């Protein structure tokens, strides 16, 4: 059995988050309205930062890198997990001694204790989402056979499964060090199709639009959004989604517990 004990003093702290933050409520973030901050290596769009019903700390931002640039050196999170989702361009992602070139739609899961880094590996700008979280499970920071390890999820390797409404790509449905389960997939909807009527569930959820236009209904209020836009849904909030454009739409949906 793989067993890696993660001792905090073994790993340098990186960008330790401000934990004195407000709770995040259900929110909609339109890509076209996100504030753009110029950086030395490109751009940054801060989406949200705070606490949720599950997470003591939760943060999402988008980084855009100019060709050949990296936001920082490789680093380790001692008590935090991170998802990287490539929006556009090509990135070289490293996890410990492994490196992969990943394109749009690809995902990386970095668990506590694993050294990871990223750079723009193409000749155009590259953009990617960073989604990271902490819980109060600081006494359980171990990777085991049960929790699995950090991993790459290349868009090109994820099987497309046709459905009557369009299709689905299942990225992950697995435990992590900090979560009992993390489920993540991409839904494809044909023109004019509704994925489902408004419903509620006991899990927090994120919808990330990657293609076309959607209309997300939240407690009866419609929100029309295009590529790059993100929706954070707290548990037990009525919500539903449909294709609001003239072609297929695609979006990530992921939940955790």
**61-71: pLDDT as tens digits:** 999 999 999 99
Q: Phi then psi for 12, rounded to 5 degrees?
A: -70, 140
Q: Is 19 exposed, middle or buried (CB count within 10 Å of its CB: 0-12, 13-18, 19+)?
A: exposed
At the second CATH level, the architecture of 157-256 is: Sandwich (2.60)
At the second CATH level, the architecture of 19-155 is: Sandwich (2.60)
How much is the pLDDT for 11? Answer: 36
How much is the pLDDT for 103? Answer: 98
How much is the pLDDT for 156? Answer: 97
189-236 residue pLDDT tens: 999 999 988 888 888 999 999 999 999 999 999 999 999 999 999 988
Every domain range in the chain assigned CATH 2.60.120.10: 19-155, 157-256
How much is the pLDDT for 198? Answer: 83
**Residue ranges, the chain, pLDDT below 70:** 1-19, 139
Look up the pTM and report it. Answer: 0.90
- The answer to whether the CB of 134 falls within 8 A of the CB of 178 is yes
């Amino acid at each position: 059995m793989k067993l890696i004990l993660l001792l905090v003093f073994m790993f340098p702290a990186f960008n330790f988050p401000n934990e004195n933050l407000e709770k995040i409520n259900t929110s909609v973030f339109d890509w076209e309205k996100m504030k753009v901050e110029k950086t030395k290596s490109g751009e940054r769009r801060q989406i949200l930062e705070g606490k949720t019903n599950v997470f003591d700390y939760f943060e999402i931002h988008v980084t855009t890198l100019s060709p050949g640039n990296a936001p920082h050196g490789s680093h380790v999170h001692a008590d935090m997990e991170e998802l990287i989702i490539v929006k556009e361009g090509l990135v070289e992602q490293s996890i410990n001694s492994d490196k992969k070139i990943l394109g749009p739609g690809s995902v990386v899961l970095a668990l506590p204790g694993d050294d990871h880094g990223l750079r723009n590996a193409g000749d155009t700008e590259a953009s990617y989402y960073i989604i990271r979280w902490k819980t109060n499970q600081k006494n359980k920071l171990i990777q085991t056979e049960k929790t699995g390890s950090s991993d790459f999820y290349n868009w090109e390797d994820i099987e497309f499964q046709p459905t009557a409404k369009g299709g689905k790509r299942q990225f992950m449905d697995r435990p992590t060090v900090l979560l009992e389960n993390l489920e993540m997939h991409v839904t494809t909807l044909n023109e004019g199709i509704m994925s489902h009527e408004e419903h509620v569930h006991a899990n927090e959820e994120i919808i990330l639009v990657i293609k076309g236009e959607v209309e997300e209904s939240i407690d009866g209020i419609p929100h029309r959004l295009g590529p790059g836009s993100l929706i954070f849904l707290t548990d037990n909030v009525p919500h539903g989604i449909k294709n609001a454009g003239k072609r297929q739409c695609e979006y990530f949906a992921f939940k955790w517990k």
